Structure formats: C-alpha cells, structure tokens
A = this chain, B = another copy of it.
Amino acid sequence: MEQTATTPPVNFETSPDQYQHWKLSVEGNVATLAMDVREDAGLRPADYKLKLNSYDLGVDIELADVLQRLRFEHPEVHAVVLTSLKPRIFCAGANIFMLGTSSHAFKVNFCKFTNETRLGMEDMSAHSGIKFMAAVNGICAGGGYELALACDEILLVDDGSASVGLPETPLLGVLPGTGGLTRVVDKRKVRRDLADDFSTLVEGLRGKRAVEGRFVDAVYPTSKFQEAVATRAKELAAKSDRPKTGPGITLGPLSPAIDGDGIRYQYVTGAIDRAKRLCELTISAPVAPQPATADDYQAAGDQAWAIRAFRELDDALLRLRLNEPEIGTVVLRATGDPKAVLAVDASLDANKSHWLVREIIGLIRRTLKRVDLTSRSFFALIEPGNAFAGTLFELALAADRVYMLDHPDEANTVQLSPMNGGAYPMSNGLTRLQVRFLGEPDSVGKALSHDGPRDAPAALSAGLVFSAPDDIDWDDEVRMALEARAAFSPDALTGMEANLRFAGPETMETKIFGRLTAWQNWIFQRPNAVGERGALMTYGREGRPTFDFKRT
C-alpha cells in the first residue's frame, strides 16, 4: 500500500516557453486556455502515459502557472475559456495509473495542490474580475468535470458523445478528490438524489439531461457551440473591472540556490535539519525602498518585495510538501526592519483598488492560506531583530504556536497594521485574528486599534503570542517544544491541526479540505481502493476489484 514508485523532486517553477500541456491564446479581453496533454510527458513517463487529456502533477503545475500569469501578466484578460484541443475528449481527470503507482502522501498532496489551483480559479472570479467558462467539447470525466465545476459557467456541446460525469465511485472505488461532490451540491446546488445518481454513473450525462440536473449551464449543437462560447465569454468579460488594456508585469524565474539541505531565494531561506525533522523557514523584510504608488508597483514589476517574497514563500511551501514528507515541523522566522514591512503595508492598503496591487494582496492571501492548509506543524519564533509586523505578523497568526522572547536588554517587538484587519481572510471567510479571538471578539478590535509596537509581555497579554519566555528559559522551552512535537505521531498531528486551525464557520472551500479531503484520504488508505485487489490498482488491468463489503 505504501510508495510503489519514487517520484523525483518536484519543481514547481515553469513558464510559457516550457509548457507541454496547455496552449494559451488571448484575443481582446478573452483568453482561451486549451488543454492538450502530451501523453509521454508525465512526471514519471516510465510509469504512466497521460492518455485522453488525463493529468498528473506536472500538468497541474503548468495550469497553476498560467493562472498566476493571467493575473499578473494579462490585466486585459477579463474572461477565460477553458477547453480542449483533443478530438472528442475534454479531460479524463487525474491519471489513474499515476495514482495507482503513487505513495499515499503523494496522492494526498497532489490532490491538495489541484484543489488549491481550482479554488484559485474561483478566487480569480470572486476577487480579480476574471470569469471562467468551461467549453466542454468532449468527454469530461472525474477530475475533468471537477475542473469545469471550478468555472463560473459550463457549456457543453451536444454531439451525442460529449458528457460530464464523476465515475470515481463506480469505476475506481474512490471519491472525486478535487471538490467534485462538494461543488455539485454546494456550488451548483444539485439535488442530492440527482447528485447521488450522477456520482454512480460510469458514463456520465449528455445533452439535455446534464442541463436539467444543473450539472452544466447550457448545451448547444456542434454547429452553434463555438459561437455560443464566444458570445457568452464576451458577456462574462464585460462584467470585469480589470483594465481594458495592458501592460501587465512579467513574472520572472525565482531560481533559488539549492545547496544540500538548504534553499535560498532572495527573501526566503529554508534550512532542513533531518535529525530533528525540522525546517527553518525565514522570510526577510525588504531592504531597498519599496513602491509607494500603483505606478511604482507597475514599474517595479516582479521585483517588488511584496510579490517576490510571497512567490518565494509559496514555492518553498510547495517544495516542502511534496519533496520533504518527513520534515514535520516548520520554524518560521521573519527578520529585518519591521518598519519596512509596515511601509509596504501602507502602500498596499492605499492602492488596494488598483488592479496590480489587488493581485499582490491576493497572492499574499493565497500563500497564507497555503500555510493554513499545509499539514506540518508551524512554530513561529520571535526574537530580537524580528520583522513580524503587519503582513508578516499574519504568518505568526497562521502558526500553530508563537514563542516570543522576552529579552531583558534587546528590543523585541511585534506590531499589527490595518492589513491584519481583513486583507487576508482564511478559507473560512474570517481573518486570522477573528478566528484566534472567537471566544473574545472584542480582542480583535483592541489588538488592531493599538498603534505602535508591543513588547513580549504586551503581546502575551493581548493574546497575540502563545508564550513569552525570558532569555534564561527561551532556549530550553523552545527546544523542548520542538522535540516533543517531532516525537508525536505525524498522522495524529495532521488530524489535530486540521481540526484546531479552522474554528468558526465552514465554507465550500473548507468543506473541500475538511470533510471531502479527509474522507478521500481515508479511502486512499483502504484496501478496497489501494490493496492488491483494490479498485484503484486493478483499473485498466486484468480482473475486477475484490471488495471487503464491511461498511464502516
């Protein structure tokens, strides 16, 4: 049941000139993003072929990259049409042979990344003025339909063959793992009996029946499909508040220096201590002057600290998740001049209605959500020389615990900014301060209204940090906490953190990561799916799966 194939370290950086699976074209305010997966260009080509526009993590990394570039490089794009270049097939979903030969941890993290990418599309629709339409021009199954579900609208061609479906349960003995069940009943609000039936059909639904159940928004005969797609895409684009024309800014490569167990970007460094199963992740404040106006941001491009630092952090988190499964604890530090961070916050806040600044804030918001959703323990350590202020203090708020040194001689303070008051909501729709103070809502306003830095005792009494040991106790207390953490069952920690981090309301987004993903992970452990005769293993090979029919 465990790792049956070794995945080489995954690199999450790519760029349009390297794309193998997607073709982007922009016409006016509408972009067309066409899936054309190269069968022989999977991440482990010896183990599987990416037939029928099925995807693996590599395909999804390109998708995440192109979406990020649409945000930053193409402000003139107001609507995106997602379609396929393969005849009669839109997308067959995640590649089954890839799943069947992947370790449990890889499967889980693959699904998490694909979920984040699809939620990112909905984030673009909600926050960036970029609407999505799935132009389903062929069979659209499983993860393919889940990709369509992440769009604002789904148009289906009525050619007697094109269909939408979620055949995972009948065919593979697993769940649609990328939000499908949740989006069907919670986003598209399909009646549960129709959803139940739909989710047990191998062949999916075609034509009018797909519209009647609300699984797609409209169907058109082949002769009228392209025109309908074009018309509707223009209508969607017309709703946007993005600039009519460019230019955008170009996202250059991050090109971290990797040296043994260390990784070094411009503002982020990661250092792994394998014996302690720990990663020290440090983000530094800007040193050079940062943009003050929207024009400055446009001129600075991807070199602005707010973009670069969080792109780096995002990349580091993804590498950690996929490439370092045994590193269970992340020690977060922020270093440098907190005033420089607060100055960036002021400029972001002042220019937040500008499209580019809005995108920068969105990038930070999504990166912080990536922290919340990373199944590693995060301990923030706040020591003299720290830059945990404003946006960077949000990282401390995202941590499971914050330790702050109460130093007798050296200054050691933290500070909030207006950006902690609503710019970076969690997946559940609340700010991290609101979730932290669910039991004492007045503390949110009190924490935000305090102007200026707080030392360790003040931060402790305001409830902003977990512990504030003095210099005599600091080393021992931190060391013992980290050692204790490293000794616990990693599975119990994953479950514990997933339950403690998301107090308060649940949203479609948190349901996808809580309810749906937790069940899928359970199924991904069950012999009925991944055992020798499990459905995921026997698929496409000889023989039928053999089930233990005990219900739990």
Task: Give chain A's interface residues, CB within 8 Å of chain B.
Answer: 2, 103-105, 108-109, 168-170, 172-175, 181-182, 184-186, 188-197, 199-200, 214, 277, 325-328, 375-376, 399-402, 435-440, 463, 465-466, 484-485, 488-506, 510-511, 514-516, 518-523, 525-526, 528-529, 535, 545, 547-552
Which of chain B's residues have a CB closer than 8 A to the CB of A184? Answer: 500
Write the nearest CB–CB distance from A491 to chain B, whole angstroms: 5
For A329, the closest partner residue in chain B by CB is B551
Which of chain B's residues have a CB closer than 8 A to the CB of A188? Answer: 439
- A328 contacts B549, CB within 8 Å? yes
Looking at the complex, which one of B465, B494, B500, B535 makes contact with A552 (CB distance below 8 Å)?
B494
- B492 contacts A193, CB within 8 Å? no
- A485 contacts B326, CB within 8 Å? no
Looking at the complex, which one of B182, B485, B491 makes contact with A529 (CB distance below 8 Å)?
B491
- B528 contacts A105, CB within 8 Å? no
For A511, the closest partner residue in chain B by CB is B506
- A490 contacts B528, CB within 8 Å? yes
Write the nearest CB–CB distance from A326 to chain B, whole angstroms: 5
Q: Which of A190, A196, A496, A549 has the most CB of B within 10 A?
A: A496
Write the nearest CB–CB distance from A275 to chain B, whole angstroms: 12
Which of chain B's residues have a CB closer than 8 A to the CB of A465? Answer: 193
Looking at the complex, which one of B168, B197, B550 makes contact with A466 (CB distance below 8 Å)?
B197
- B491 contacts A182, CB within 8 Å? no
- B375 contacts A551, CB within 8 Å? yes
- B525 contacts A326, CB within 8 Å? no
Which of chain B's residues have a CB closer than 8 A to the CB of A529? Answer: 489, 491-492
Bound-state Cα–Cα, A504 to B511, Å: 10
Bound-state Cα–Cα, A168 to B515, Å: 21
Q: Offer 10 A-B interface pairs, CB within 8 angstroms, sorted by A.
A: A103-B550, A175-B499, A186-B438, A199-B496, A492-B528, A498-B519, A506-B515, A514-B518, A522-B522, A525-B526
